[in-house]
Homo-oligomer: A and B are copies of this chain.
Amino acid sequence: MSEEFMSRRNLNFVLYEMLDATKLTENEYYKEHSRETFEAIIDVAEQIAREKFFPHHMELDATEPVVENGRVKIIPEVKEALDAYAEAGFLSAHHSEELGGIQLPRIVTLACQVWFSAANIATLAYLGLTKAAANLIEVFGTEEQKEKYLGPMLEGRYYGTMVLTEPQAGSSLADVATTARPTDEGHYLIKGNKIFISCGEHELSENIIHLVLARLKDAPPGIRGLSLFIVPRYRVREDGSIGEPNDVALAGLIHKMGYRGTTSTMLNFGENDDCRGYLIGEPNKGLACMFHMMNEARINVGIGAVMQGYAGYLYSLDYARNRPQGRPLGNKDPKSKQVMLVEHPDIRRMLLMQKAYVEGTFALGFYSAWLLDQEKTSPDEEVRRECGLLLELLTPIIKAWSAELTLEANYQAIQILGGYGYTRDYPVEQYYRNNRLNPIHEGANGIQAMDLLGRKVSMHEGAAFNLLVREIEKTVAETLENEPLREWASQIEKALNTLKETTADLLKAKKDFGPERVLANASIYQEMFGHVVIAWLWLKQAQTAIKGLEYANEENATFYKGKLQACRYYFTWDLPKIEYQSRILRDLDPTCLEMQDAWF
């Protein structure tokens, strides 16, 4: 069975050839770094992913966490893997030196993360959430809160969670009903039921630090009345030792189709009216605190999706290269040897589609990390502002479109394995099940689409959208004179015009007819937008490949030719879809809007 789940060659291509990540070391904040330090830590990530994360990913999927005597039991390999990750410093690597970090660029921590994510996403999730919660405490916590909680989290002694959803409030956070009652002792008493809390209960760490959205008494209704609270599972004493349980009860585990090794919990806060929470950030600004991390959280979902796609792609590729089945068309001699699956053009189609989707979204994920780094550390204020805007705009695409494309890739991986593909003895069906969560969690794809068309493309008078257009036009200008790229450059130029005109039409229609008519078709707008963005990332990769080909040895030349062919695939088989999509959009097609409930 193949043990390849990630490609170092492609990682290097995106990191150094396409994005020139080492250039980030020119920024003051990253100046201690070099390609050598980057490589060293990526080596460690690859090694731990291979040795500690990958080997148990099938067993964990088959052996879901269960509750025994009130405790959550998880196979021991999970804790071993998580401890190895924490010991190697991956929880704090991106933090400042003052916090014990090594100020690693986000793009390099991503280059580490992809190994774990492809190797075993269900195990990684425990630390992904811990990092997210720690980041939040770092930005909004008081000094005391940081000392008490952040330190142990960065060491991997405490884990963290994000606690938003309630049974009656999923996409509609305005309806969160958990309450927080002030006391004279500085803490609040939290009361309410939460659901879908990933990593909400386990025995993997000394403590679990929940970040809980709740409503202060007399707070305004809706999302403007939500505050954020630190709610430790065990209280932490002044001296930092673990104290009493904090009245957070596990009401049950949720059994999911994928990410089965990641506990998903129902939690009851304050069943005995003794659940202590500590306000973090300002009152009624809880959602703003959460959303401060939302771009990053959504990028992480997108990357999680990409890596499920990646692992499935590499597995099915290995299978196709080693499984003899059938003979070429025209060979009617049944005594002749069977050829490998990869020899059949339709199998190559399924592999090429996977490559196009997986490496396209992979490049987008790394581009977004590069934007994050520049937003944070560029010496040029204008660059920081622009990178921030681009990131805002692209976040729905990174999250939603990556999830959709790579789920399709996972479908193809199963198809290549045939009957074996849908058995649980092979990993591809697990990747597919895992990936099916990604179009939903961290904001369902339909919500992302509303965000994109309803807010992002028009925000700051279209500044972010215009920036993206400029960036794409820049790539077009650079490639339009280059023979092998010219055809794609002119194709994307046309596609960009279609996107611009469609967007303008929709924004005008929003003014003329109100938002409902326009936003009813937001999902197909997001698809169209996604196609243009991924095509652009493919053109950038092709541009990089052409450059690389100039001095390439044979092995590298082979790699670059694959890039060009995958680019060709995306431009020929996918980008043309935007034509019918733009027609539906520009017609303000009312089919879905006018559908009546009773007609179903």
Contacts and interface: CB of A to CB of B under 8 A. Distances in A.
B418 A436 contact: no
A172 interface: yes
Nearest to A220: B334
A415 B446 contact: yes
Interface string A396-423: 0000000000000001001100110111
Interface string A514-558: 111001111110000000000000000000000000000000001
A433 interface: yes
A579 interface: yes
Contacts of A414: 436, 440
Nearest to A62: B255
A573 B577 contact: no
Interface in A242-270: 254-258, 264
A512 to B, nearest CB: 15
B418 A440 contact: yes
Interface stretch (A111-119, A288-296, A325-333, A361-369): A325-333
Contacts of A432: 257, 436
A78 to B, nearest CB: 21
Contacts of A591: 352, 565, 568-569, 572-573
A349 B592 contact: yes
A548 to B, nearest CB: 14
Contacts of A446: 346-347, 350, 415
Contacts of A441: 419
Interface in A470-520: 514-516, 519-520
A520 B421 CA distance: 22
Given A338-B175, A355-B600, A346 B523 contact: yes
Given A418-B444, A429-B257, A600 B329 contact: no
A27 interface: no
A377 interface: no
A222 interface: yes
A23 interface: no
A330 B514 contact: yes
A561 interface: yes
Nearest to A342: B597
A422 B445 contact: no
A315 to B, nearest CB: 12
Contacts of A40: none
For the complex formed by this chain, how many copies does it contain in all?
2
Contact of A334 (B175, B335, B342, B600): B175
Contacts of A284: none
Interface in A578-600: 579-580, 583-584, 589, 591-600
A345 interface: yes
A450 interface: yes
B422 A172 contact: no
B596 A561 contact: yes
Main secondary structure of the interface of A (DSSP, over half): helix
A86 B352 CA distance: 48
A168 interface: yes
A520 B349 CA distance: 8
Interface centre among A335, A418, A421, A444 (most CB of B within 10 A): A418
A107 to B, nearest CB: 25
B516 A334 contact: no
Contact of A170 (B419, B429, B561): B419
Contact of A171 (B411, B418, B580): B418
Contact of A600 (B196, B317, B436, B598): B317
A100 interface: no
Contact of A424 (B257, B328, B568): B257
B421 A599 contact: no
A435 to B, nearest CB: 11
Interface in A191-242: 195-196, 220-223, 225
A559 B520 CA distance: 23
A130 interface: no
Nearest to A420: B170
Contacts of A599: 558-559, 561-562, 565
Contact of A593 (B174, B348, B573): B348
Contacts of A569: 591-592, 595
A321 interface: yes
A439 interface: yes
Contacts of A422: 256-258, 436-437, 440
Contact of A222 (B334, B514, B516): B334
A256 to B, nearest CB: 5
A26 interface: no
Given A170-B419, A346-B522, A348-B597, 16 more contacts: A168-B324, A170-B325, A171-B326, A174-B326, A254-B425, A255-B425, A256-B423, A321-B597, A330-B515, A330-B516, A346-B450, A351-B595, A562-B598, A565-B591, A569-B595, A579-B579
14 contacts: A174-B327, A196-B419, A255-B423, A317-B600, A328-B516, A345-B519, A345-B593, A349-B521, A352-B592, A352-B600, A415-B444, A562-B598, A569-B592, A572-B584
